[in-house]
A and B are shown apart, each in its own frame.
Chain A
Amino acid sequence: MPGDTSAFGLLLAGDPALLAIVRLSLAVSLSATALAAVIGIPLGAAVALTRFRGREGMIVFLNAMMGVPPVVIGLTVFLLLSRSGPLGSFGLLFTPQAMIVAQTIMVTPIIAALTRQTVEDLWAEYRDELTAMNVGPLRKIATLVWDARFSLVTTLLAGFGRAASEVGSIIIVGGNIEGFTRTMTTAIALETSKGDLSLAIGLGIVLIGIVVIINALAWVVRRAGEAYAG
């Protein structure tokens, strides 16, 4: 389709600017999801398995944090990373790294809360066996996380889905700088404001397509995993 300037046409033609936007979106959201997993999975598992004062409060807090609007997280990170803020000296505001920080803060509670639920359910099933085998606390957490790995794939996806589709936090901390911090969602916001609705819709469809493909891949992995481990 020569001369086609819709997002599809550009993507099919391998338009470098559009590909860079797609690549940055994926890099930011995947990094944030991975970091959030490193923090959230052990945290969720620890909350599931330990009894401490304020545990109930912690669970309510994690569940509530799942619903915090991205724009509030964006504003908070913005104030922290601004040159006039406490972490301003790192010069991270308006960089992809700042967007990763914001999305990590957004996704961690989702992964932690869902992990807690998953691990707690599995723990109800495993409790007697592991206790009878005298398994120590750290190994217990590792066992449950490993054995829940296929459910946790879904959890990670939920986190990635939220990260990839949000615009509120990254447009504030990233600044939507062309070729540097412009992602699919911030580009959609920009094209809409320029009144270029067809390009905005095209980008939206590309975004949906990517999310569908990643979900389908994860589904295949999950089914293959279940066939293996039951």
Chain B
Amino acid sequence: MRGVTILDRLSLTVGAGAPTVLIGPNGAGKTTALRLMAGLMAPTSGRITWGGRPDVPARRAIMFQKPAMLRRSAGGNLRYALNAAGIPRRDYAGRIHELLALVGLDGLERRPARRLSGGEQQRLALARALAGDPAVLLLDEPTASLDPAATKTIEDVIRAVAAKGAKVVMSTHDLGQARRLGGDIVLLHRGRLLETGPAATFFTSPQTEAARIFLAGDLLV
């Protein structure tokens, strides 16, 4: 990565409430922004604060665009995440049942995770991210390459999680999804913040030329 600036002068404040959705063309820096927030990488310069304080919230989870399934059963994947999140062992059975029901995978607890379909794997990954009951949930393209039915299941879960007070920050290529889920929209391009605002106004009256071009479906170069 040395010598290439991925994110540049990105000053972004993410408030509590409905999901914040990062949009922008490929290479805009959406994934990098999420990885920074997840603590998977440190910024070369600058800082990230949570509620104005530098300490990292304990309950923070991320779901990657291509989640890796542990070579265990669906239930085993959840059990692993519950253990890593420090959930008491006696609660595992109940939590696993609850999480699988939440993402619509009831009855698949014993199925090997890597033998689930793409949509099922994505939902299991979401359930796994939710295992520790995160206060901050980061989602990188949670429904890329999923069919509409699977996409709907995941969006419903995201809505439910957000409704219960967790802060969701997600990226998407799907402007319709950004409209359906977004509280705030953040438009990134080449590592810079172009425009941000509440979804309601962002889509109806974008403030910048770039946002207008992007929303019209034209290429932003």
Contacts and interface: CB of A to CB of B under 8 A. Distances in A.
A147 B67 contact: no
A128 B71 contact: no
Contacts of A132: 38-40, 61-62
B64 interface: yes
Contact of B64 (A129, A135, A143, A148): A129
A143 B70 contact: yes
Nearest to A228: B112
A73 B78 CA distance: 46
A156 B29 CA distance: 44
Given A129-B64, A132-B38, A132-B40, A147 B71 contact: yes
Contact of B115 (A129, A143, A230): A230
A134 B70 CA distance: 15
A133 interface: yes
Nearest to A151: B71
A125 B64 CA distance: 12
Interface stretch (B43-51, B80-88, B172-180): B80-88
A126 interface: yes
A129 B72 contact: no
A230 B61 CA distance: 25
Contacts of B68: 125-126, 128-129
Interface residues of A, number: 18
A228 B70 CA distance: 12
A139 B83 CA distance: 11
Contacts of A229: 71-73, 112, 114
Interface in A139-163: 139, 143, 147-148, 150
A133 B40 contact: no
A131 B64 CA distance: 12
Contacts of B72: 147, 229
A135 B71 CA distance: 16
B71 A129 contact: no
A125 B113 CA distance: 15
A228 B111 CA distance: 8
Contact of A134 (B71, B84, B112, B115): B84
A142 to B, nearest CB: 11
Contact of B85 (A128, A133, A228): A133
B69 interface: yes
A135 B115 contact: no
Residue from B39, B70, B114 with most neighbouring chain A CB atoms (10 Å): B70
Contacts of B71: 147-148, 150, 229-230
A147 B77 CA distance: 11
A230 B112 contact: yes
B114 A128 contact: no
Contacts of A150: 71
Interface in A19-52: none
Interface string A63-82: 00000000000000000000
Interface in B28-66: 38-40, 61-62, 64
B40 A128 contact: yes
6 contacts: A126-B68, A132-B39, A132-B61, A132-B62, A230-B113, A230-B114
Interface of B: 38-40, 61-62, 64, 67-73, 80-81, 84-85, 112-115
Given A132-B38, A150-B71, A230-B115, 5 more contacts: A129-B67, A131-B40, A135-B84, A229-B73, A230-B71
